[in-house]
Amino acid sequence: MCIKGKPSFPVCRGFEMNTTLDQFTEVIHQAIARRRPLRIRGSGSKDFYGGLSKGEVLDTTAYRGIVDYAPEELVITARAGTLLHEIEAVLAEQGQMLPFEPPYFGPRATLGGCVAAGLSGPRRVSSGAVRDFVLGVQILDGQGDLLRFGGQVMKNVAGYDVSRVMAGSLGTLGLILEVSLKVLPRPKTEATLQFELDEMQALEKMNRWAGAPLPISASCYHDHVLTVRLSGAQSAVHAAQIKLGGQMMIAGEDFWRGIREQTSTFFRERAPLWRLSVPSTAAVTVPGKQLIEWGGALRWVFTEGDPGAIRAAAEKMQGQATLFRSAKKSSGVFHPLPKPLLAVHQRMKRAFDPHGIFNIGRMYSDF
């Protein structure tokens, strides 16, 4: 049970968490003994993401609670099952935030799922991704052993950086128990501006502005409109507003939430949704309905087009394509890895999970 404690975050009693931990270990040992894989799951908010993973569900939601938060240290540590919105509420009380602006994709999204999925929101382009803010993790590896890597400090080069590797590994390397994250102050002021431009002009502007000392924290281009968000000290945001011009948007916060959570009208489509990660200057041509984020580095495309052709188009621009949302995933979700790199992945998987029990198929078909 987690109770509202002092200062203001829920404190979960140690012995109950230990019991939950023992249960996890037991489940893992049984899975090894029975050679039956497990499917790690928090609230299931990101069930749609990644390949289909068979196996008995290992529910992480009971292992929850903020373990430590010292605003002046800019570090928060919480258990995997802690709700993201709980964490963000506690941070907001102290005027701080998760700098990577994680998408939730569901009201009960958990910290563990957020880190395992490794998805970042609009602020990624200026602040960094989930992996940039992971300072330490506690995991249960594929033998059920409790391991700690990294810590609660910002500079730490002792041992391989396993903590960051856990971010985006989709639970295939281990069960994340606890994560320490670097947090940052919320910007004092934000403002959203809009410009009517064609795609070429928008890409050119986004790249040029990103190379100038401007407080741009997010950008989005769709349907001839470039939207940018300014964040920072009031004077800086104000000065940039004057410098850039454009049309001030009143409901900026809602707009960016809609992009982050994919609830804005652009995302109401039935076709498969592709996520193209490309260099910000790339001129990618994948026919379909498109929305650009991250200063040009992220392109969302709805298309029924041939997966091979879409991946080839991304690759031609030194990028990669992920089948982000789709009913049919037979062509694979993530960009295929070149053979030598795939071999390293398979050996890494064996190092962490020698019996092959975690989330088989969630990332690539055989691991």
Within 110-149, the residues that bind other proteins by CB under 8 A are: 118, 124-125, 128-129, 131-132, 141, 143, 145, 147-149
Closer Cβ to other proteins, 23 or 277, answer by number: 277
Closer Cβ to other proteins, 268 or 339, answer by number: 339
Closer Cβ to other proteins, 61 or 112, answer by number: 112
DSSP 3-state of 289: strand
Closer Cβ to other proteins, 54 or 188, answer by number: 188
Q: What is the closest distance, in whole angstroms, from the C-beta atom of residue 348 to other proteins in the complex?
A: 5
Q: What is the closest distance, in whole angstroms, from the C-beta atom of residue 108 to other proteins in the complex?
A: 25
Per CB under 8 A, which of residues 314..333 are in contact with other proteins?
Answer: 318-320, 322
Residues composing the chain: 367
CA dihedral 204, 207, 210, 214 (to 10 degrees): 0
Residues 271/286, Cβ–Cβ less than 8 Å:
no
Find the binder of other proteins among 108, 238, 289, 355 (CB under 8 A): 238
Closer Cβ to other proteins, 56 or 145, answer by number: 145
Q: What is the largest CA-CA distance in the chain?
A: 66
Contacting residues for 3 by C-beta, under 8 A, at least 6 apart: 10, 11, 12, 13
Closer Cβ to other proteins, 96 or 110, answer by number: 96
Per CB under 8 A, which of residues 8..67 are in contact with other proteins?
Answer: none
DSSP 3-state of 191: strand
- Tell me how crowded residue 190 is: count the other CB atoms within 10 A of its CB: 17
Whether the CA torsion 29, 81, 138, 99 is positive or negative: it is: positive
Considering only the stretches 47-55, 57-65, 109-117, 153-161, report the one whose residues sit in contact with other proteins under the rule CB under 8 A.
153-161
The whole-angstrom separation of Cα 136 and Cα 156 is 9
338 binds other proteins (CB under 8 A): yes
Write each residue from 160 to 199 as x if it is in contact with other proteins (CB under 8 A), else as -, in one continuous string: xxx-xx-xxx---x----------xxx-x-----------
The whole-angstrom separation of Cα 187 and Cα 218 is 13
Q: How many residues bind other proteins (CB under 8 A)?
A: 87
Q: What is the closest distance, in whole angstroms, from the C-beta atom of residue 347 to other proteins in the complex?
A: 4
Q: What does 118-132 look like in DSSP terms, one character per residue?
A: T---TTHHHH--HHH
Residues 17/63, Cβ–Cβ less than 8 Å:
yes
Per CB under 8 A, which of residues 275..314 are in contact with other proteins?
Answer: 277-281, 294, 297-298
Find the binder of other proteins among 4, 6, 35, 155 (CB under 8 A): 155
Using the structure block, give the residue that is written with the tokens 């109770």: 3
Closer Cβ to other proteins, 2 or 310, answer by number: 310
CA angle 41, 47, 51 (to 5 degrees): 105
